[in-house]
Amino acid sequence: MIDNYRHILKLSNRCYVNKLINKFTFADLIKYRKKNFQINIDSKMKFGTKAIHAGQEPDPSTGAIMTPIYQTSTYVQASPGDHKGYEYSRTQNPTRHALEKNLAALENAKHGLVFGSGLAATDAVMKTLQPGDEIISTNDLYGGTYRLFTKIFEGFGLKFHFVNMTDLENIKSRINEKTKLIWVETPTNPMMSIIDISGVADLINGKNIKLVVDNTFSSPYLQNPIDKGADIVMHSVTKYIAGHSDVVMGALMLNDDELKDKLAFIQNASGAIPGPQDAFLVLRGTKTLHIRMQRHSENGKEIAHYLKNHPKVDKVYWPGFEDHPGHEIAKKQMRDFGGMISFTMKDDSVEYATKILERFKLFRLAESLGGVESLSGHPASMTHASIPREERLKSGLKDSLIRLSVGIEDAEDLIADLEQALG
Ligand code: P1T
């Protein structure tokens, strides 16, 4: 009896669905397909609107509001070369393309290209150079970038000069006819030094030298280097852009068509691309980038001031302080000062720093930064261990320096954690 009822229910449901399908005529389908759901993102649109909408149109086949994860390695062709613009997912993938367009819009750039990691993006930029070319970079930069430059690309004949870029004279005096690229990171990792992007751009104006800015610590919400004269912006998307510590990815944003073609060729030829699942996660991340960065900056400010007034703390490195040497430039080129802070203790020993790091409960000890959760790090033994100690000390990176990535938890709880850890 019950089985009979189930059968009748199934049949009637099927009839209802069929009726709906029959009502939706072929003409309706064409009308739906023709409707333009695209939102025109123009340069006047504000950051939050671009973050949520740029590069993202409802899926043409279903109307899905979120860009689908096109988890496919290849695309069917009607006849050789007769396809819909997608041939093979190393070269093109719709989810990745949506992200590339979204990221380009956030940096006010024409083009965006994403890679399997921040270092893969940096690697692609270096492959545009030739043996004998010279690069000027900051002496205070992410240890992995330093390692890529010195341990890989020096071996292929590129020459690197690492200088203190807070003084533009140090850059100017290194420029010669072989200089092809200037690699800036600002704020720097981990000393939070500020490099004047427009100042560097002015130095190379009219010369055949490209300016690349690693904008990871600021995120596109706090700083847009292309507006200040940079040729390429590089991001470790892993950090603030993705924002949830669940993806490793890198990106390049730029305006120059020829350079973009060169980099897209390298992206495909070397093949360091991210998968569609990760592209989807980052598209989800960028939708809240502006809100997250506002809270990172608010919390960063409270924590920086708390640390500055703590009797056991020696120096606090955060560009929002009026007495930070780069404060005026930071005010000029950044929208706010972010949530990255480094500090040293009056008891300047590795032992004491280690004790603090072990005591943290909310500020978990881990490599990386920029996620919603707060993290702590010990650059000398972790992120910057690949830089020789004498080089580290030149930029002020002491053995006891602790780096904080201030998350978006409640500031009171973060301060309570610092209070118990500093003892
Ligand atoms: O980890 P990856 O996505 O490859 O990005 C490298 C990178 C590039 N530039 C900067 C300024 C970075 O901070 C990083 C990665 N940094 C860390 C993992 C860290 O904890 O500092």
Q: What is the pLDDT of residues 133-149, one digit of tens each?
A: 999 999 999 999 999 99
Q: How confident is the model at residue 392 (pLDDT cuts 50, 70, 90)?
A: confident
**Length of the chain as a residue count:** 423
CB 186 within 8 A of CB 338: no
389 is catalytic: no
Q: Is the pLDDT of residue 14 over 70?
A: no
pTM of the model: 0.92
pLDDT given for residue 11 in this prediction: 47
pLDDT for position 3? 52
* Res 7 pLDDT > 60: no
Ligand 1 midpoint to CA 250 (Å): 9
- Is the confidence at residue 194, as pLDDT, over 70? yes
Atom from ligand 1 closest to the CA of residue 249: 3
Sorted by where each begins, the domain ranges of the chain are 2-53, 94-286, 289-422
Q: Please provide residue 413's backbone torsions phi and psi, each rounded to the nearest 5 degrees.
A: -70, -35
Place 8 in a pLDDT band, splitting at 50, 70 and 90.
very low
CA of 29 to the centre of ligand 1 (A): 47
Position 15 scores a pLDDT of 46
Q: Give me the half-sphere count of Cα atoms (radius 13 Å) on the Cβ side of residue 408.
A: 15
Paired sense of beta strands 402-405 and 375-377, if any? antiparallel
Ligand 1 centre to CA of 132 (Å) is: 27
Catalytic residue among 142, 146, 221, 317: 142
pLDDT of residue 24: 64
Q: Which of 75, 90, 308, 332 is catalytic?
A: 90
pLDDT for residue 151: 97
Let me know if 207 is a catalytic residue.
Answer: no
- pLDDT tens track for 363-374: 999 999 999 999
pLDDT in tens, 15-74: 454 555 556 676 766 676 667 777 777 778 999 999 999 999 898 889 999 999 999 999
The third-level CATH classification (topology) of the domain covering 289-422 is Aspartate Aminotransferase, domain 1 (3.90.1150)
Q: How far is the CA of 368 from the centre of ligand 1 (A)?
A: 7
Residue 94 pLDDT > 80, yes or no? Answer: yes
The total of other beta-carbon atoms located within 10 Å of residue 81's CB is: 7
Contacts of 355 (CB under 8 A, 6+ apart): 423
Is 90 noted as a catalytic residue in this protein?
Answer: yes
What architecture (CATH level 2) is domain 94-286?
A: 3-Layer(aba) Sandwich (3.40)
Across the range 118-126, mean pLDDT stands at: 98
Taking the CA of residue 152 as centre, how many other CA atoms within 13 Å lie in the half-sphere pointing to its CB?
14
Which of these is catalytic: 228, 239, 398, 403? Answer: 239
Mark whether 214 is an active-site residue: yes
Query: Predicted confidence band at 386 (pLDDT cuts at 50, 70, 90)?
Result: confident
Kindly state if the Cβ of 102 falls inside 6 Å of ligand 1.
no
Residues in CB range of 386: below 8 A, 6 or more apart: 143, 144, 146, 147, 151
φ and ψ at residue 16, rounded to 5 degrees: -65, -45
